[in-house]
Amino acid sequence: MISHKYKCIFIHLGRTGGTSIEFALDGTVHGWEKHWTQRIMRRKYKNYWKDYYKFTCVRNPYDWVVSQYFHNKQINYEWYEKTYNVDIKTMSFLDFLKFNNINFAEEKLNFFLDELDEIDYIIRFEELQKGFDYICDQIGKPKTLLERIESSTHESYMNYYDTQEKIDIINEDYREYFETFGYEMVNKN
């Protein structure tokens, strides 16, 4: 999203608290365009790209994928059914990991964020409010408490990684993400 009021561009990776950030910035929840990639935003906002403050939010890959799984089961299931003819509501977490590995292999870090050096600040979801407060200071916005919007409901994310196979899928699929953002890979062995 772009905010001309605060002269900033927010690159919203899904399931990272971005809807809460968008709502705090301009009081609306954006539609399908809210998950545009950095490449698309650079092109769409080319007149502002160099001058506006650019930021994004990332999340621990283990937590991120669990959140995607439950969000899709609870809210986005019709899209999966129409697009892939699968019933995600009954899909196990392991099957979801395997399904994503096959169908979304290209939609990893470099798909959404292709030039990290262009981004002024990266918020970690684990410190979402602290990171957003920092952004507010940078763009001249009064600090506001982020509301929880579109949160999925589930247990602690590590409860879903009860086998080495599940951990290995995430470690392999998100290796670059772990390395780039300093998240620690776990290993049950």
Read off the pLDDT of residues 92-131 as tens digits, 9 standing for 90 and up.
999 999 998 776 755 565 678 899 999 999 999 999 999 9
Q: Kindly tell me if the per-residue pLDDT of 65 is higher than 90.
A: yes
pLDDT band at 32 (very low <50, low <70, confident <90, very high): low
Mean pLDDT for the stretch of residues 47-62: 97
Mean pLDDT for the stretch of residues 153-157: 89
Closest CA to 141 of 54, 24, 63, 39: 24
Query: Positive or negative CA dihedral for 32, 71, 10, 35?
Result: negative
Q: Kindly tell me if the per-residue pLDDT of 153 is higher than 90.
A: no
CB-CB contact of 93 with 69 (8 Å): yes
Report residue 31: phi and psi, to 5°.
-85, -145
Question: Taking the model in full, what pTM does it have?
Answer: 0.91
Q: What value, to the nearest 5°, has the Cα angle with vertex 171 and ends 11 and 163?
A: 125
- Cβ atoms within 10 Å, residue 111: 13
CA separation, residue 84 to residues 33, 80, 152 (Å): 21, 5, 22
